Amino acid sequence: MDDSYSYSYSNSITATLLLIQSDTHDDPLSKIQAAKDIRRLTKTSHRCRRMFSEAIPSLVSMLRYPSLDAKAAALLALLNLAVRDETNKISIVDAGALEPILTFFQLDNLSMEEHATALLATLSASPVKRLTIGASGAVPFLVQILNQGTPQAKMDAVMALTNLSSAKDNLTIILKSQPIPYLVNILNRSKKSSKISERCTALLESLVGFEEGRVSLTKQEGGVLAVVEVIERGSPQNREHAVGTLLTMCESDRCRYREPILKEGVIPGLLELTVQGTPSCQTKAHALLRLLRESPYPRSEHEPDTLENIVCDIISQIGGEEQGGNAKKMLADMVQVSMEQSLRHLQQRALVCTSSEVSLK
């Protein structure tokens, strides 16, 4: 960048800042254009995000303008300023942006709802402001988006709620808005390996840490089944969240939640995870299988508490003694399939590595 271009570029930023910070309301179109310029310049430049941080109070004020164009321009500029910039996220919340942002959910305007949800998702990435956002009244609007928002808004709402759920006080606020039926619905309509499915299951894992969440999931038609299907077909991280969800339920009250989990056919998926899951997932799957048997403890000191014996116990309980005799074959078949899949995966990885090495020579 030569000196003349740099000088012109710096002057342009200074002029835009002066315009957005001016007190006059006589020319709203010029302020809207200034907000659009900030949005454009900060889209990919972290340096510009730093330089335009001074514009945040003025952009927050524009969120209260009667003009929908002004609201939208300011909102989108703030969204770009907040991306990957922790300081700007904090400044936007401290400047009082949350109150006007929430009014956009009452405009009956899908585009504004979508932008507002995206900004809340971005702001909620700041651990410093999660309690503030949770207490602002944003949660009920985010949960409503799970029900009737656009696909992109639903994705951002799940992200925002998952971020907010890391603060324990927010979990009770989220539960009061009854999000679990909507989360189950999204799980049923999404690929189990998708990002939105992964975020839904992560949020469910947090919510079932409370009795209200566990009751809501088991009462929802197909609720437990949706989690079991994630165990069967989800991404590695998603399967771990799903196993963690059911394990939390069983650990809280095994007698109450064991049967609803067993009846949805969870055993094959858990068996596969004991072989193929991540190390943490394997541990959780083993723990859940132990809790799903009639007694979580070995039957005698002479009979080792092996995975085979645990599965034999479970199958004999849910299918009668006749099926108990087939338990060993079922376990052997599952392990064989899992091992074959693992071998194919290793062979594919070896081929990829070999081709990479060849290309590097």
Give the pLDDT of the chain (361 residues) as one tens digit per residue: 454 445 456 778 888 999 999 876 567 899 999 999 999 999 989 999 999 999 999 999 999 999 999 999 999 999 999 999 999 999 999 999 999 999 999 999 999 999 999 999 999 999 999 999 999 999 999 999 999 999 999 999 999 999 999 999 999 999 999 999 999 999 999 999 999 999 999 999 999 999 999 999 999 999 999 999 999 999 999 999 999 999 999 999 999 999 999 999 899 899 889 888 899 999 999 999 999 987 666 655 555 566 656 766 676 665 544 444 444 555 566 556 555 655 565 566 666 555 544 444 3
What per-residue confidence (pLDDT) applies to 13? Answer: 87
What per-residue confidence (pLDDT) applies to 298? Answer: 60
**Do residues 190 and 150 make contact, with C-beta atoms less than 8 angstroms apart?**
no
Measured CA angle at 163 (ends 161, 168), to 5 deg: 85
Q: What is the C-alpha separation between 95 and 118, in angstroms, rounded?
A: 18
What per-residue confidence (pLDDT) applies to 274? Answer: 87
Q: Which residues contact 134 (CB under 8 A, 6 or more apart)?
A: 164, 167, 169, 170, 173, 174
Token pair listed for 305:
């508490």
Instruction: Provide the CATH number for the domain formed by 178-286 in this structure.
Output: 1.25.10.10
How many other C-beta atoms are found inside a 10 Å radius of the C-beta of residue 97? 25
Q: What is the C-alpha separation between 249 and 1, in angstroms, rounded?
A: 60
DSSP H or E run through 134: helix 130-135
Q: What is the C-alpha separation between 201 and 158, in angstroms, rounded?
A: 10
**Do residues 272 and 292 make contact, with C-beta atoms less than 8 angstroms apart?**
no
Calculate the CA dihedral of residues 18, 20, 23, 25 and round it to 10 degrees: 130
SS3 sequence, 30-79? HHHHHHHHHHHHCCCCHHHHHHHHHHHHHHHHHCCCCCHHHHHHHHHHHH
What per-residue confidence (pLDDT) applies to 345? Answer: 56
Q: What is the C-alpha separation between 270 and 334, in angstroms, rounded?
A: 10
Give the start-to-end residue ranges of the domains of the chain: 178-286, 305-332
Q: What is the C-alpha separation between 262 and 240, in angstroms, rounded?
A: 18
